[in-house]
Amino acid sequence: MKFKHILPVFAALALVSCGAFKSSEPKPVVGKITYSMKVESVDGQDNPMIEAMQQFLPSRVEQASNGVDYAMRMDGMQAMHIVAKSADSMVYVAAGGEFIKTSISNLNNQADSEQSEVETAVEELGDTKEVLGMTCKGYRVTAGETVSTLYVNSDFTLNSPSGMPNMMNGAQATGNVEGTPLYVEVIMNQGGQEFKMIMEATEFVEGEEAIKDILTPSKGEYVYQEEM
């Protein structure tokens, strides 16, 4: 199993890297962000492919951190739960009936290798977007063949180990834009047609109680793999 093969569309978000625009240092928070995910046509026209594509996407994606440990969970046909535990330096993945664990260092080495192969260009859009009452700064990011638009809140961040498939992974690894994306658009091509995949924060909850469940690995017999 490879993280980028668990859910190819979500992996495109994990490759987003945010160029040379450094923001002020964001504050690490203890909390959880819930995102919705949907697909739209680029031109706004109805398209029968959209319904079929939507069925393969999660309707709900959660990311959480207590400042040390990190987790991501999504529902749907390709449900997945990832938890990185700093105490034992391990990452636990439950997906597709499989339970796999690997060391955080193994994951970091793989992420560094894959990230170095991706050429990234960044444009600061010069505008802002309000999401959950918070002001987010806009960027357009081209990572390989993936073009994304991000609106990032630079006031806070959910800490995660380098290599985890969250939306700011590349930016954190290169020390460029810091913060938390609350709105992401990714242009993708399916069957020769372009579509927009939109991920938008719908809830932000702070506190240990809100993240207790998601930071606990799913129950199962985990098998160690050096490469995922």
Output phi, psi for 114, to 5 deg.
Answer: -70, -40
d(CA 115, CA 170): 7
Coil/strand/helix, residue 147: strand
Give the helix/strand (H/E) hosting 151: strand 146-153
Burial (CB < 10 A; 0-12, 13-18, 19+), residue 97, is exposed
Contacts of 193 (CB under 8 A, 6+ apart): 41, 47, 49
* Per-residue model confidence as pLDDT tens digits over 115-171: 555 677 778 899 999 999 999 999 888 777 778 888 999 898 888 776 565 554 443
In this prediction the pTM is 0.80
Q: Compute the chain's Rg from CA coordinates.
A: 17
101/13: higher pLDDT: 101
In the prediction, which pLDDT does 140 show?
A: 85
Which positions ≥6 away from 225 have C-beta within 8 Å? 1, 100, 101, 102
Residue 8 backbone dihedrals phi, psi, to 5 degrees: -55, -40
Mean pLDDT confidence for 22-29: 72
In tens, the pLDDT along 88-120 reads: 989 999 998 999 999 888 766 655 555 555 677
Cα–Cα distance between 119 and 121 in angstroms, integer? 7
For residue range 193-213, list pLDDT tens digits in order. Answer: 788 889 999 999 999 999 999
Q: How high is the pLDDT of residue 132?
A: 97
CA 204-18-190 angle, to 5 degrees, is: 85
Three-state DSSP at 199 gives strand
- Of 16-20, 23-27, 182-186, give the lowest mean pLDDT range: 16-20
